[in-house]
Amino acid sequence: MQTRRIAQQQVSALGLGCMNLSHAYGVPPTAEQAERVLLGALDLGITLLDTAALYGYGANEELLGRVLSGHRHRYMLASKCGIFQEDGKRVIDGRPATIRQTCEASLQRLRTDVIDLYYLHRWDKQVPIEDSVGALADLVAAGKIRHIGLSEVSAATLRRAHAIHPIAALQTEYSLWTRNPEIAVLDACRELGIAFVAFSPLGRGFLSDSPPDVNAFEDNDIRRSMPRFSAGNMVANRGLHQKLTQLATQAGCSIAQLALAWLLGKGPHVIALPGTTSLAHLAENAGAAECMLSAELRAALDALMQTSPVSGARYNPLTQREIDTEEFA
């Protein structure tokens, strides 16, 4: 497994996003299957595991605490604050007191004394980013967390935050079909020495050999609210998928491996964070670290995405208002 750096710690170039073991994509796997995936990731050399207070409203952190507390030395633990459930509703709250409370609850659920990398899951735009990052800096000073991360923020917000306390990692969506980070924040991370962690690097299942059937989504699958997964947009996007299949065949790998290898080639500061509930897909994803793409194939991929643009926005308008990332016109 290739390695990359977050702060001064080496981690695997491919991490594991743990959200779908408890949250967001329909009925989650059984506890036994989730345990097999988590332990299987460690056995494959995956050393960055990512969770959040939001995922399963605490259930995902409890899962990691139960399964992995005895393996704490084997991986970098990342979690997030700033979004949680209150009275059955999803709440974004970046006030310092709330951040401190959320951290204490997460530490208990994760069965650990310290979280290696703690992200502000969303910037609460009612609270200056300096105040939220200041609260996270206090948690570093108290030994509750080791490093600070931010999620779904712009380059300008990242710079403001980094001026208060060093930011170790920025996490946002980045893949062949979501290129927004290339506007500014990818280069800002490179300039500032900040790791860029790409979530949904497989396009929430689209960048795989078998793209999802939108008609089979369960009622609580978050993709139901995402415009690019609407039935009409997916008709157009399937044409793009067919062309990706041809390029993957040319490269001698799966579409998922092609997408992950392309992403890792975007710079030594880039880390991919796919999630899965399948041991077979876990092994397939790990194999992407060994896929070498030629300059010609990388150019062909970029040209394809320019000539066959993705149909549909990544978020609906309500969700879009919650984030701070740069957007294409």
Give the domains, in start order, of the chain with CATH numbers. Answer: 3-204+263-291 (3.20.20.100)
Distance from C-alpha of 123 to C-alpha of 81, rounded to nearest angstrom: 10
Distance from C-alpha of 46 to C-alpha of 75, rounded to nearest angstrom: 8
Is residue 101 within 8 A of residue 76, CB to CB? The reply is no
CA angle, corner 40, sides to 178 and 259, nearest 5?
A: 20
Contact partners, residue 205, CB within 8 Å, separation at least 6: 211, 212, 223
What pLDDT is recorded for position 119? 98
What pLDDT is recorded for position 290? 81
What pLDDT is recorded for position 1? 85
Nearest to 97 by CA among 65, 124, 70: 124
Is residue 154 within 8 A of residue 326, CB to CB? The reply is yes
Residue for token digits 């345990």?
35
| Three-state SS annotation for 151-217 | ECCCHHHHHHHHHHCCCCEEEEECECCECHHHCCHHHHHHHHCCEEEEECCCHHHCCCCCCCCHHHC
Distance from C-alpha of 228 to C-alpha of 235, rounded to nearest angstrom: 10
256 to each of 134, 229, 230, how far by Cα in Å? 38, 18, 21
Distance from C-alpha of 266 to C-alpha of 19, rounded to nearest angstrom: 24
**How many CB atoms are located within 10 Å of the residue 239 CB?**
10
Is residue 84 within 8 A of residue 102, CB to CB? The reply is yes
Of 25, 55, 118, 119, the active-site residue reads 55
Q: How far apart are the first and last CA of the chain?
A: 37
Beta strands in the chain (DSSP E): 3-6, 9-12, 16-17, 48-50, 76-81, 83-86, 89-92, 115-120, 145-151, 169-173, 195-199, 270-273
What pLDDT is recorded for position 85? 82
Nearest to 195 by CA among 185, 203, 205: 185
- For residue 327, the SS3 value is coil
Radius of gyration (C-alpha) of the chain in whole angstroms: 19
Catalytic residue list contains 119: no
Look up residue 3 and give its DSSP letter: E
- For residue 133, the SS3 value is helix
Is residue 203 within 8 A of residue 259, CB to CB? The reply is yes
Q: Is the pTM of this model over 0.85?
A: yes
Type and span of the H or E element at 307: helix 295-307
Per-residue pLDDT of the chain in tens (329 residues, 90 and over written 9): 899 999 999 999 999 999 999 998 999 999 999 999 999 999 999 999 999 999 999 999 999 999 999 999 999 999 999 998 888 788 999 999 999 999 999 999 999 999 999 999 999 999 999 999 999 999 999 999 999 999 999 999 999 999 999 999 999 999 999 999 999 999 999 999 999 999 999 999 999 999 999 999 999 999 999 999 999 999 999 999 999 999 999 999 999 999 999 999 999 999 999 999 999 999 999 999 888 899 999 999 999 988 888 999 999 999 999 999 999 87
What pLDDT is recorded for position 37? 98
